[in-house]
Structures are given as structure tokens and as C-alpha cells.
Structure 1
């Protein structure tokens, strides 16, 4: 039985309890057949000392949404997924509001995956472009 989109979003957000995603207030907000979207508030908790969004927090959002996408679109009953590399090009500073990460696959292989993750602000301005490589390995039976 397939979960409804609403139930799937609730399930994904519930597994974030007591993790970095909860600490950074990352919430999965949308999903489709080939994408996943998450939101993170920009406030003093994720600022650099000069009051703008920290690139490390942006990378944490990107890796979170990309890893969730790999888990969601691969058969996690048979494999476990781990991130192997992340890159982030920061294009715009953000002081407040929210940022949104949309993860889509550039490559979805049986063993390796490559995701494109676009980070935008509340006005849909491009903030960062990230790439995440993941690997899926068989679970021991």
C-alpha cells in the first residue's frame, strides 16, 4: 500500500526527531516522482558571526534533503545509503526568512547516485547550488 503524499511527509519528518535535522528545524515540505523539497528557517541559530546564513548550515540542509531523496527513491528494505561527497557553491547571502532545498537526481544507479540540490530563498532567488554523491550498499541479511 502506497502512503498518501501527506502521510509520507509526516513519516519523513517524524524520523528527524532528535537529529541534526530537528536541531536546524529542517522540514520536508514537498515531494514528487523525482524530487524532494525541504525548508530551513534562517535565524541566529544558523548565522555566521556577521549575521548571514552560514555555508555549513546550507550544506547540512542540502545533504539532508539529498539523503532523504536517496532513501525515498531507492529500496531501503534492501540497501542503506550514505553520503560520500558534497559540494556547495554559495551565490547569495541570506539574513532571515527561509531557504528551500530541492533535490533531483542527475544519476540514479544501483550503487552510486548523484543529486543536484538547488537552494533558494523566500523570493525564489538562487542562494546555493549543491551536488551530493551517495552510495547504496546491500543490507546484511
Structure 2
């Protein structure tokens, strides 16, 4: 899959792709000045951005990008643990793969494998106009 992330939120937050397989994505994001809230902890919105990015990239890998597009239409997140620095990893797995929607679960973990954020994202699949 060849998608440019230059000048996007993905690049601004330092999100990197580690692995993409059919229905499975792993991405990382640093916990640093770009992704912290004012009190010095990982911003919940940054965790959600990472989770939705992983789900969206995974969905894009499953569709015919010449004729279809995909868009996140719903996301929820439970923030389990705070983090001040280091790296977080999103592991996204498709749990529903339909013609017009996909549902993904995303675990965001730290370097020790502790769950930082648990998320679910629904992605719409639409025909290009």
C-alpha cells in the first residue's frame, strides 16, 4: 500500500507503520511534546488519533482503492493508564468486514505491553465518485 503521509496528522504526531497484513495493523507513536497534554501525560486525543489511523490504514488495505474510499465514522476509547514518555503501539484487528462497513478493535499498549487505551472504530466503505 503506497499512501503518502507527508503534511498529515500522521506525520505531525510521529506515527509509524510497523506491520500491515490482511485485517491486522501495527503502528507506533512517540509520547513526546507532540502527543502530550499540558500536564505532561499522553493526550487521550493522540491515543484516539493513533487508533483511528491504524483502523483506517487497515481498512484501506482491504478495499480496492481505485474504486473505493474508506472513512472512520465512529470511534470510542477507554483510557486505562497514563504515560509520560516513551512509545505506544496500536494493534488493530478487523472484527467485522462487510461491503459498506468494517469494525476494528485497537489496543494501544506501552513498551511493557500494558494496556494504555482500548478502542473500537467503525469505518465506512464508499464508492469513489
Structure 1 spans left out of the alignment, 5+ residues: 1-7
Q: Which residue of 2 aligns with 1:4?
A: none
1:1-141 equivalent positions in 2, closer than 5 A: 8=1, 11-12=2-3, 15-140=4-129
Cα displacement string for residues 76-110 of structure 1 (whole angstroms, at most 9, x for unaligned residues): 22211011011000000011100000111110000
C-alpha root-mean-square deviation of aligned residues, in Å?
1.1
How many aligned residue pairs are there?
129
Cα displacement string for residues 44-75 of structure 1 (whole angstroms, at most 9, x for unaligned residues): 22111111100000001111111000001122
TM-score (norm 2): 0.95
Higher relative contact order (CA 8 A, sep 6+): 2
- Structure number with the higher helix fraction is 1
Moved over 3 A (4+): none
TM-score (norm 1): 0.87
Counterpart-to-counterpart distance in 1, 2:73 and 2:51? 13
Structure 2 spans left out of the alignment, 5+ residues: none
Larger radius of gyration: 1
